[in-house]
Chain A
Amino acid sequence: MSITDQQMHDSHDDHGHHGHYEEGGNHHDTAQEKHRKEHMATWLFIFGDVVFFLLELFFWFYLRANNTAGMWRAANCTPANGKLGPTDEGLNTCTDGLFNPITHAIPKANPVYTIIVFALIAIAAAFVWFAEVQSRKGATKKTTHPLTALALFFVLAAIAAQFYQFQVLPFTTIQGTYASTFEFYMGSNVAHFLLALVIVTGLWSRSRLGKFDNGKWYQLHLSRLFLVWVAASCVILGLVTIFFA
C-alpha cells in the first residue's frame, strides 16, 4: 500500500504548523477533541474526589455512631457521672490526646461561620458559572474579566473565612472525634479552595488577555464544573456538621 500525495501533504501541513495552542492535550487536536478530553478528565477527577468525599462522610457517621469511650463530643464526661479521671483499670475514659482530663461536653461549632464559608465559595462558583454563560453568549473580556475578578475575590474570602473559623472554634483537634472530623472537613475545604484559587487566578488572568473571547468558553465551563462540585461538597459537609453534630 502506498500513501497518496494528499496524505503526505496533510502530514507536512500538520508538522509545519506554528500556531498558538490552548493549554493541555496533544498538539494535533481540534478544539472539540481537546474539549472532549478535558471534559472527561474533569469528570474523572471529580469522581475520585467524590470517593474521598464519601469516605469523609463515612468517617463522620462511623465515629459518631461508635462514640468510642464516649468521646464523640465527650457528652458524658461530666464530673457528676463519675467517669472523670483514671478508672480502676488505670484507663482514663475521658481525656484528650495529651492525657488531660476532659470535664465537660465539647461544645458545637458556631454554624454561622460554617454557613459563611460555604456561602462564599458558592458565590465564587456562581460567578464563574455566570462568566461561562456570558462567554457562551459571545461576551468579551469586558464582561468576563470583572466576573472572574469577583469569583477570585470570593474564593479568597472563603479561604480567609475558613482560616478565621479555625481561630474561633470552641475546641481543638485533640478534643474528641467530633472535633477531629470537624477540623478535618475544614482542612479538606482549604485544600479544595486552594485548588480553586489556582484555577480562578488563571481564569482571572486569562480573561484579562481576552482568552475567553470569541466563543472560547470551554475552560470557563470546565472550571465551573469543578467549582460547583467544590461548593456542593462544602455545603454538604457543612450541613452535616450543623445537623448531625
Chain B
Amino acid sequence: MSTIAPMLLEDTKLEPKAGGFYRHQNFLTGLIVGILSGFIGWVVSLALLQGSNFGSDMVVTVTLTCWVIGFNAGMGTFNAIFRWILGHDQNHEDELYAAGVGQGWKRYWKYCTDHKVVGTQYLVLVMVLFGVGGTLAMMIRTQLLSPNSRFMSPETYNAIVSIHGMIMIIATIIMVSGPFANFIMPIMIGAKDMAFPRLNAMSFWVVVSAVPPILGSFFLGGVPAGWTTYAPLSVQAPPAMDAFAITICTFVISVTVAGINTLVTVLTMRAKGMTMGRLPIFVWGSIIAGGLGLYAMPAFLMAQSALITDRVVGTGFYVAEQGGTGWLYENTFWIMGHPEVYVILIPPVGALIEIASTFARKPVFGYKVMVAGISGIATLSIMVWAHHMFTTGWAPTLADPFMLTTELISIPTGIIFLCMVGTIWRGSIWTRLPMYFLYLFIFNFIIGGITGIYLSDVPADQYFHGNMFVTAHFHYTLLGGGLVGAMGAVCYWFPKVTSRMLNERIGKTAFWVVAIGIQITYMAQFYEGFQGMARRVANYNALFVDANRVSSAGAYILMAGMLIFMYAIIHSWRHGKKASANPWHAKSLEWMTLTPVPLENFLVDPVVTGHPYGYGEPDSKPVAPEMPVPVSANSGGSH
C-alpha cells in the first residue's frame, strides 16, 4: 500500500472567479431565460405573423424555438462558443469549476461537465420520462376497459397515444446510453472523462429543453397522428404537431452530439493497454449504437423539419395536392425508425452481457462473434426500413427484398442470443438481482423476436399490420427486452453510481410484479391481434372486451411493479447500505476504482493488463493496479 495518498481533486480550492459566467447559471436561470425568451418570441411572432396563412403554426414554432434557445442560453450551453470567439479560453480552474468542484449537490442543477454528474442527471430524467409515459399508458388502458368508454374523448385518446409513444421512444433511446454510457463507460475504458465534457453537458440539457414542447402539445390541440406522425394527417394536425416536431429536432441535436462524444471517447481515450479487443461488450454496444444514431438521427431531422416547413411555410413535400406524397415521409421516417430500435436495444443488451459474465463467473462466450453480431445487426438495420410499409402500397416489388433483409436480421440476433446463453451456460451462477432481469430479458425477447418474424412476412403482415399484434410485439421487444435490460443495468451499476446497494428485497418484489404484468398485458394484446382488433382505437367491438380487460389489469400490475422498482431506487439511494468499491467482485475497470468515484475516476492512471472477463482463469491478472486510498476518503467525500 502507498504511504502517502494523493488528495482528491474535489478538495481543490478554486479561485473566487473560476468558471466565469457559469457561476451565475443553473437550472433556474435556464428556466427564467427560456420562458422570457419564449414569451418575447410569442409576442413578436403574434404581432408580425398571426394574420398570415400559417399564423398559429408560425407563432407556436417561433415561440418554442425561442424557448429552446433561451433555456440553453440560460443554462450555459453557449458560453464556451462565445468564449472561444472572444479568445477567452477556459483555464484549468474554469474547467474544474465546470466539472462541479466545490458545488456539492448544486452541481446536479448546473451545466456540469463531469460525466458522472451528467450520467446521474440522465438517470433522473429517464425516470421522470418513464413516469410521464407510464401515466399516459395507464390512461390508455383505462380508456380501453370497456368497448364504448367515455373516460376520455377520442381526440384526447389519440393525443395521449401519440405522446405516450414518443415520450417512451425518447426515454428508451436515452435510458442506457444516457446514464451508463456517460457514468460508467468512460471508467470502463480507463478515461478521466468523456472526450468533450462540455458537449456532454450540452447533450443532457438540450434533451431537457426538448421535453416541455412535447408535453405542451396537449394544450395546443393534441397530436392526433400517433407516434409515427404520418403525413398528410400530421400536416393537417393542430399546432400541437409543431411542438412535437420542435421536440424531435431538438432531441436530434442531443443524440447526435452524444453519439459523436461516445465514439470519440472510446476511439481516442482508452487507458494504456485497453486495446479494442479488450473493450467490454457494453462499450462496443455503446459505440455501435452511437454510430447508428449518427446515421438515423439526420433522417429524423429531415422527416420532421420538412414536416415543419409543410405546416409553417406551406411547402408541399407530403401533400399530394401540391405534388408531394405521404410515402416520402414514411420512407424518411423509417429510414430513421428501424435503426433507431437498435439504437435503443443494443446498449441494454451490452449491459446484460456484462451482467451475464459477472454473475456466471465466466468469460463472455464468443467475444468476437458477439461484436460481429452486434455490428451485423447495425449494418442490416439500415436496409430493412420498408418492412413498416408493406401495407402502404409503396413499391410492392420491393416487398420481397425487404422481407428478406428483415429475416436476415434474425441471424445476427440469434448469434447474440446464443452468446448470451452460452455465457451463463454451466456457469457457477450467483443469482443476484441483475441476473433476474437477464432471465426475464431472454424470456421476453424470444417472444418479441419470434413474433417479429411473423411481421416481417409480407402476407402475414397484411393481417397483423394494423392490429394489436404489432403493439404486443413492439412492447415485448422494447419494454420486455430493452427496458427490462435497462432495469438490469440499473441494478448492476447502482452501487457504483449511488455508492449504495440497491435493496434486493424490494427489487425482487418489483421484479416479479413487472415480470407477471408484462406477460398478462401483452399476451392479451397478442390475443386481441389474432382476433383482429385494430390498434390505436379509442372504442372497439364488444367482441374484444375480455382480452382488453385482461390487458388493462396486466398493465396496472405492470405499473405497480414499476412504481415499486422506482421506490426501490429512491429508497436505496437515500437509505441503502453503503457499497464497497466492487460488490460483485467483477473484473472490468469501473469496479477497480473507488466508490464514490473520484473526480477524474482514477487516482493513478490505470494500465490494463488483461481481458475484463478473466473469470475462472487461475492466472488471470487484475486488469489494473490497486488504487491508493485518498486522504479524505474516510470523511465521506463530497458525494
Contacts and interface: CB of A to CB of B under 8 A. Distances in A.
A26 B315 contact: no
A25 interface: yes
Interface in A47-63: 47-49, 51-52, 55-56, 58-59, 62-63
Interface stretch (A111-119, A122-130, A180-188, A232-240): A180-188
Contacts of A33: 268
A123 B557 CA distance: 64
A31 interface: no
Given A41-B260, A41-B264, A180 B294 contact: no
Contacts of A17: 92
Interface residues of B, number: 68
Contacts of A103: none
B198 A1 contact: no
A174 interface: yes
Interface in B304-318: 306, 309-310, 313-317
B85 interface: yes
Interface in B65-92: 80-81, 83-87, 89-92
A72 B323 contact: yes
A67 B83 CA distance: 49
Interface string B41-59: 0000000000001000000
A68 B89 CA distance: 53
B347 to A, nearest CB: 18
B268 A36 contact: yes
A45 interface: yes
A92 interface: yes
Interface centre among A12, A48, A177 (most CB of B within 10 A): A48
A44 interface: yes
B297 A48 contact: yes
Interface stretch (B2-10, B498-506, B515-523): B2-10
A174 B323 CA distance: 10
Contacts of B85: 198, 201-202, 205-206
Contacts of A44: 259-260, 263-264, 294
B317 A177 contact: yes
Interface stretch (B23-31, B189-197, B420-428, B439-447): B189-197
Given A92-B321, A202-B84, A71 B316 contact: yes
B324 A63 contact: yes
A143 interface: no
A175 B83 CA distance: 44
A23 B80 contact: yes
B195 to A, nearest CB: 5
B323 A68 contact: yes
Interface of B: 1-2, 4, 6, 9, 12, 53, 80-81, 83-87, 89-93, 95-96, 192-193, 195-198, 256, 259-261, 263-264, 267-269, 294-295, 297-299, 301-302, 306, 309-310, 313-317, 319-325, 328, 331-332, 335, 600, 603-604, 625-626, 628
Given A15-B9, A22-B89, A56-B302, 9 more contacts: A21-B91, A23-B90, A24-B80, A26-B197, A44-B260, A45-B260, A63-B325, A96-B322, A181-B315
